[in-house]
Structure 1
Amino acid sequence: MSHRAWLQVLRERYFVSGLTIAALARQSGWSKSKVSELLRGAGLYPTWELTHSLVHVLGLPTRPMQLLWCEAAADAGKKPDWIEGCISKVVVATGGLRPPLEHRAFTELYRPGYTAYGKVFLPTGAEARRAVAEALVILWMRWDEALVSSGAAQFAWPILRWSVMARAPHTADHHPELTPAAFDTVALARAVGPGDQFRQFEESLNLFQAISRLPDLELDVTVLVHLRGMDTAAVADLLGLPPSLITLTDERARRSLAIALAPHSLGGTP
């Protein structure tokens, strides 16, 4: 997962650079086969020296890529000594060791909402925090793009969503698994007896299964408004979208869920 995070960013920058593999190899000082192997994600986990050379040629910020590379190396089973040895071979300018001030302010403002979203889909709070941290590092790496986009929040949300969904359990038909969130619903907590709890739990499972099948934006709005209790203005700010669009999306999602759950609510069978 973490390997794909930094490799995806590197590939995207390569695709828009206009460079050929041969040109990238020539400018980085590595063979075409090594460069091609790295971009394809094939072979052994690449050294930081090779990765950094491509990062430099493609004009990506070094420090955030290094953080992602180190995390992915650990996930790939590389020993700390190997990782530190690779890093020590490349000198990183000290001026880029911290994100820009604007990015740090963005992180402080949006991290809580991002984490709340992640906790709906990921098994543990630690996994949610890790997904959010990864997304914010990728955003740091692409901060120059965010600044010239229609809005940093709107630019950042797909990055956060990708990081969460890449880690989230999915059903056999490729929908994100929401059923663990059923244990944390207000309605279930208020159920009086065991029979009430069982009935509410069954209803929650049906509801979460229906929510998981909503289109992406409807799913996100439903999760943030109804499972995380955010108001329309807060959700609009988090996603970087107009409040009117959030309201419209919420209404559309409600209609879809009402149709999907109608057989259950009427006591019949689907």
Structure 2
Amino acid sequence: MTTPSDPPVPPARSSAARPGRKLGPVVDGVGSTHRAWLDPMRGKYLTSGLTLNELGTRVPLAKSKLSELLRGAGLYPRWSIVHSLGQVLDLPQWPLQRLWQQAARDAHKTPDWIKNSNGKPVLTRSGPPLDHGAFRELVADDYALYAQTFLDDQLRDTAVADTFDALWLSWDDALSSHDTRHFAWQVLRTCVMSRTLHLDGRPELSPAVFDTVALRDLVSESDRVGQVEESLNAFRAISRLPDHQLDVIVLRYLHGMDAERVSSLLGASLATVRSEERYAVQHLDSVLCPPTETEGNTTP
């Protein structure tokens, strides 16, 4: 007589083979602070192998409402539901709650609504992964310098804090990406640009003009006015550069970083940084120092 063996464990169901209706994309108009926690949550769901029906047995919300939440549709969700969904999907609760609160404020929810919708607040703060903490210590000061180019002190601090919370939520994705530094820089850029004033689709750098070294060293009021005008013209030209060139110029010239440091910060090769800088400088020279009519008509 033989003893029956344990039945084989069925293979995990891949997200591609998930039965039922496919989750739709995030709806238009969802703000970047909302997406800071929504995108990692969607990513966790899509790789979990769970269906919306199965998720609905663990979270007190109808399948249609879960679909809306995961697409950013409908009303902004209460924390009690986001908290429950985050627990099922094994998302760290502290950064999830902080990003949820920030997005609620950006959605013009009142302090009372935010407080009353908490349901299950996170009472204790758990620490991020050790390598996340080490990465933060390495780049936090440089991230703040970049953010300060576009934002005042309060918004700068908020953007940088949101960056590291969003990275905490998606840290596994960051580590599995082709370059963690590049992944993290895109998160920072999104957090900063979502709070930056834009003109004709391009970010405004003008607040930084009054903190330039040249202005701080000037004494004459007439010199100061002239320098302001010159700096404003330069900042307008810089703001119209393509995104990669803009970042390189901001870090290299407004903050004096060497090319190697910029390469490490952006997660881009040194050759790429130097190429972007070269093209950007050529463009700025053509805009700020165009050839005069006499120069253009000079004959040999």
Please give the range of the TM-score, normalised by the shorter of the 2 chains.
0.7 to 0.9
The Cα shift of 1:105 comes to 0.9
Q: 1:168: how far off?
A: 0.4
Is 2:66 aligned against 1:35? yes
Structure 2 residue corresponding to 1:225, chosen from 252, 267, 270: 252
Structure 2 unpaired stretches of 5+: 1-30, 295-300
Q: Is residue 10 of structure 1 aligned with residue 10 of structure 2?
A: no
Q: Which residue of 2 aligns with 1:129?
A: 157
Contact 1:73 1:83 in 2 (8 A): no
The number of equivalent residue pairs is 260
Q: Which has the higher helix share?
A: 1
Contact 1:152–1:240 (Cα < 8 Å) also in 2? yes
Which residue does the alignment assign to 1:51?
A: 82
Asked if structure 2 preserves the Cα contact closer than 8 Å seen for 1:70 and 1:83, the reply is no
| Residue 255 to residue 34, structure 1, CA distance change in 2 (3 Å) | same
Question: 1:267–1:114: structure 2 CA closer, same or farther, 3 Å change rule?
Answer: farther
Provide the TM-score with structure 2 as the length reference. Answer: 0.76
- Of residues 91, 100, 119, the one that matches 2:129 is 100
Q: Which residue of 2 aligns with 1:196?
A: 223
Which shows bigger deviation, 56-65 or 128-137?
56-65
- Regions of 4+ moved over 4 Å: 12-24, 265-268
Q: Is the 8 A contact 1:225 1:232 kept in 2?
A: yes
C-alpha distance 37-112 of structure 1, shift in aligned 2 (>3 A): same
Structure 1 residue aligned with 2:195: 167
Which residues in structure 2 correspond to 1:54-73 (within 5 Å)? Answer: 54-73=85-104
Question: In the TM superposition, what are the counterparts of 1:240-255 in structure 2 within 5 Å?
Answer: 240-255=267-282
TM-score by length of 1: 0.84
Contact kept in structure 1, 2:59 and 2:85, CA below 8 Å: yes
Match of 2:288 among 261, 265, 269: 261
Greater Cα offset, 63-72 or 111-120:
63-72
Residues 206 and 235 of structure 2 are in contact (CA less than 8 Å); yes or no, is this contact kept in structure 1?
A: yes
Counterpart for residue 156 of structure 1: 184
Equivalent position of 1:113 in the other structure: 142
Q: Decide which structure has the larger Cα Rg and report it.
A: 2
Measured after TM superposition, the shift of residue 266 of structure 1 is 4.9
Contact 1:221-1:235 within 8 A present in 2 as well: yes
Give 1:47 deviation, angstroms. Answer: 2.0
Structure 1 unaligned spans of 5+: none
Percent of aligned pairs with the same amino acid? 46
